[in-house]
Structure 1
């Protein structure tokens, strides 16, 4: 089994799900009927929210362990790496369930957001996000409690969760609120330095660095040794660049990709997000064009969204992104070529290939 074997990866997911449902069954001091209600509910929630994406984050852990071991993995190593990979996917599910509520999103992966499902409700979905997060630690304890890197693995998830939540705060507070109401739009807050800080914390660590660091930790690389420190630092450096590129790409897709291809309806304009597109637009607009942004950005109005997208096209932001994408590809290729040991380069080539020219 290899990092590209999605069927084998999904089979490990089923084992994890079965164990977690059994944990509910074994909860003490609950009646059988209450337990059954919980089991019925989470037997729907887990498969609806966790699998279904591209699974790149999870598969990256397996690829990383393969690269570091420099050989085909044993069945035990594959299963361990896959379990760790699924915990990254569980973390993603926790974030997305919460993020969709915060953004008032409609669809996710081509289906209604979890909180939009009948019989779920927003209140339940908030609690479900927290339960999905807790399931990560149940699974890590079950499978890695005796592993030499158990504490390091736990700390990676704890640190990454905090980093992502800091990024989410920056993202959702692009426009300030007062007394529960959105303040007037302040375009001065949409700057590339704010955007880059948000992306580093909201996207780069959990979408790229975590998977690479988990592979290093599982393979026994100690960040306190000279060799280990260099490997973790190389991983962080390249992942920050890959993550920013990925998020900028995501912003462009949010505005321009058809929802049936993207798998969701983009809402960055309506939500007044500090996206790469609005930051670049503000560098290029005339005073007249700036007035169009002021009048329409952050409004839940289809005509206003259309006007903002027309402005983006007028400023040729899609073409500007295409130039940026080629520059980032070359920068990443050059950085990857300098990583030692050389076999570690293959992990980042794998990640770059997953996102270069992606359409969804």
Structure 2
């Protein structure tokens, strides 16, 4: 990471004050402002900051050494994406019934918050546009930035819709790789990989049709890679390391692991999966089938193969319009073999 966490979070402190200043224009009671301030810090800080640092790193590759003003603007774009992420995960935690996020109690489970977390999530998303207007309102690509955030939010929500309408709504026998890839593309790829690079290209005025298409062409397989990695970690990682308790099995999620299991299991194992997948307290029965099928080994074989394929795509990027391979190589290095 080219920027330290302390430098990045110092920018966030400034941006929180920008957001609160905007609220105060509407005579919002100070007690409410302080609760919203707490929401901003609780729900936005504490992650890996992959999205925000990727914007800064991409701008540095595209423009060279950033001036103080350029750094602030790039960091602001990065934090706008982190706020979009915060909005999405607050809602995601409510829908999934999650208990922890980033090693902390989920926002909606705090006794003084409860279901007001739904409105807090909406305000987190609104904060994105407060920052974009204040810091990019006169930028030539301001409207395109707004459209980018709206489009990626919609794409992510479509992926979330597909992710939440799985078991018990449908049988695990209906889980297909096609369905999984839709979730990986729309729930993960666009807001984890596409938007940081697309936002950097717009800021640097290099968002040609060719550059944006190349970014999308690599973001989608990166999103697939990252989603499968998340599926693996949800099942196998230590909750202390992961920062949350994995819930994919009991929630009946359409994951890479269950698809592989259904494709390779015996009739007896299939019965175990169908009777236990998506049911609370039955995770160990499902994990036993995964263990018997050696899915952890299959995952690491996939990991190496997919990383090579993404690397080959990066090597073939056309740089004639100013796009740089290094941007995507940096992204891949941030997510490669997490959990190994």
Aligned counterpart in structure 2 of residue 53 of structure 1, from 42, 47, 50: 47
Take 2:209 and 2:62, find their aligned partners in 1: how far apart are those partners?
15
Partner SS state of residue 249, structure 2: coil
Q: Look up the match of 2:244.
A: 264
Take 1:73 and 1:6, find their aligned partners in 2: how far apart are those partners?
17
Q: Look up the match of 1:119.
A: 112
Q: Look up the match of 2:90.
A: 97
TM-score, normalised with respect to structure 2: 0.97
Contact 1:66 1:73 (C-alpha < 8 Å) held by counterparts: yes
2:191 is the alignment partner of 1:206: yes
Q: Look up the match of 1:178.
A: none
Could you list the runs of 5+ residues in structure 2 that have no partner in the other structure?
none
* Count of aligned pairs: 338
2:65 is the alignment partner of 1:68: no
Aligned counterpart in structure 1 of residue 324 of structure 2, from 344, 349, 352: 344
Take 2:103 and 2:333, find their aligned partners in 1: how far apart are those partners?
24
Take 1:63 and 1:261, find their aligned partners in 2: how far apart are those partners?
26
Contact 1:3 1:60 (C-alpha < 8 Å) held by counterparts: no
TM-score, normalised with respect to structure 1: 0.91
Superposition RMSD on alpha carbons, in Å? 1.4
1:83-162 matches, cutoff 5 A:
83-121=76-114, 123-162=115-154
Deviation of 1:300 (Å): 1.0
2:233 is the alignment partner of 1:253: yes
1:317-336 matches, cutoff 5 A:
317-336=295-314
Deviation of 1:240 (Å): 0.6
Contact 2:22 2:130 (C-alpha < 8 Å) held by counterparts: no
1:149-298 matches, cutoff 5 A:
149-175=141-167, 182-183=168-169, 186-222=171-207, 228-298=208-278
1:19-30 matches, cutoff 5 A:
19-28=18-27
Take 1:72 and 1:247, find their aligned partners in 2: how far apart are those partners?
32
User: Deviations for 1:47-72, whole angstroms, at most 9, x for unmatched residues?
Assistant: 00011100010111111111111x20
Take 1:127 and 1:80, find their aligned partners in 2: how far apart are those partners?
28
Take 1:330 and 1:127, find their aligned partners in 2: how far apart are those partners?
42
Q: Look up the match of 1:8.
A: 7
Deviation of 1:230 (Å): 1.5
